[in-house]
């Protein structure tokens, strides 16, 4: 496992503008950089990834829907142009009425 990107958490003002939380991500680097996240950090808290549930691309971003070792479901987004990771969605996966359908 290589550390492909080492981004720090964004400031509060920056997070409010983008509705996301910048995070630091460690990933497996295959033939493409930033191929698969393996662990990410929110501040000093490390969350290991148990499973990549889904992944998709658009021209400017790579998205990963992942299951963390804390039982939470996260959507991580890699901005190809800016070279940074953001957490754009979190579901604690503890309430049936808010659980994501594909989990």
pTM confidence score: 0.70
In a domain, 78, yes or no: yes
In a domain, 37, yes or no: yes
In a domain, 16, yes or no: yes
In a domain, 62, yes or no: yes
In a domain, 7, yes or no: no
Query: What contacts 87, CB < 8 A, 6 or more positions away?
Result: 20, 21, 22, 23, 40, 42, 74, 75, 76, 77
In a domain, 103, yes or no: no
- The single-letter DSSP state of residue 90 is E
pLDDT of the residue at 65: 95
Instruction: Dump pLDDT digits (tens) for 23-42.
Output: 889 987 766 555 789 999 98
- Residue 99: is its pLDDT beyond 60? no
Number of domains the chain contains: 1
């Amino acid at each position: 496992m290589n550390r492909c990107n080492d981004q720090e958490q964004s400031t509060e003002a920056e997070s409010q503008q983008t509705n996301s939380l910048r995070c630091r991500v460690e990933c497996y680097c295959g033939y493409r950089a930033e191929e698969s996240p393996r662990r990410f950090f929110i501040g000093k808290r490390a969350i290991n990834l148990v499973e990549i549930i889904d992944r998709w691309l658009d021209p400017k971003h790579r998205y990963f829907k992942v299951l963390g070792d804390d039982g939470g479901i996260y959507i991580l987004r890699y901005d190809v142009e800016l070279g940074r990771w953001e957490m754009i969605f979190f579901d604690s996966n503890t309430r049936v009425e808010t659980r994501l359908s594909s989990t």
